Amino acid sequence: MHSHQDRVLITGASRGIGRAIAKRLIDDGLQVLNLDKEAPEKLFGQEIFVQVDLADETALRSALTELVSKHPITRLVNNAGIVRPANIDATTSADLAAVIKVNLSAAIICVQALLPGMRAARFGRIINISSRAALGKAERIAYSSSKAALLGFTRTLALEVAIDGITVNAIGPGPIATELFNSANPPGAAATQRILESVPLGRIGQPDEVAHLVASLLDERAGFTTGQVIYVCGGMTVGLTQ
């Protein structure tokens, strides 16, 4: 059940969770505008790829201006993110600035560009992909801070745009089997085993399990859910306190 031009802008949709989100939404009949630094291995049928470095504010604003002039875009998934793993002693100002620029600032800039079209349509769906790490994860000082910031942004924005018929929600993936995750956590390694043991469901999540929730919240029928943070974490965020 889609209308409102059936277009969704996804940042960072060329690989990982973003790729799974793009595939699911295309399967659901939406056209995907993929803003990413790198092209996907191959384009899906209803996908338009726009190459842009989300850390470059000028380039990002200009790409967005051009896109909204061609297409009304009433759905947005702020998925792009970078990690600069480091503990507190090793985290530099450059790390912090780089992570905030992509994980938080780019999300705010994308919303600013798309809001006029959403307000005109009296309809909008915005989803920010945060992380379970927002609740705390060792050696993720900059990343965890940026992902927690997205939660405050989600709640505040939800309050500001509710009157316009726009919902804003965040999703916090736990450990998900992306190429990046698998290369950092090889199956069978002791550290990977410890991660598995920390997940009540006893397994790593699949990217399409995150995509399923994204698709649900982007639907027109999800109009009464806003300002929420939903963790797709296999129960990790519940099990932490046991």
Which residues have a catalytic role annotated? 143
CA distance 227 to 206: 25
CB atoms within 10 A of CB 90: 11
Q: Is 187 left (phi over 0), alpha (psi -120 to 50) or beta?
A: beta
CA 73 to chain centre: 17
SS3 annotation, 107-160: HHHHHHHHHHHHHHHCCEEEEEECCHHHHCCCCEHHHHHHHHHHHHHHHHHHHH
Q: Where are the alpha helices (DSSP H) in the chain?
A: 16-27, 57-70, 93-100, 106-121, 141-161, 179-184, 190-198, 207-218, 236-239
